Amino acid sequence: MSKSLKILIIMTLVVVVLGVVRVVIGGPEDAWICDNGQWVKHGAPSAPMPSEACK
Which one-letter amino acid corresponds to residue 46? S
What pLDDT is stored for residue 30 in this prediction?
86
pLDDT in tens, 1-55: 899 999 999 999 999 999 988 878 876 678 899 999 999 998 899 899 999 999 8
What pLDDT is stored for residue 10 in this prediction?
97
What pLDDT is stored for residue 36 in this prediction?
92
What pLDDT is stored for residue 12 in this prediction?
98
Q: What is the C-alpha separation between 34 and 50, in angstroms, rounded?
A: 10
CA quadruple 46, 47, 48, 50: dihedral sign: negative
In the chain, domain spans: 3-42
What pLDDT is stored for residue 16 in this prediction?
97
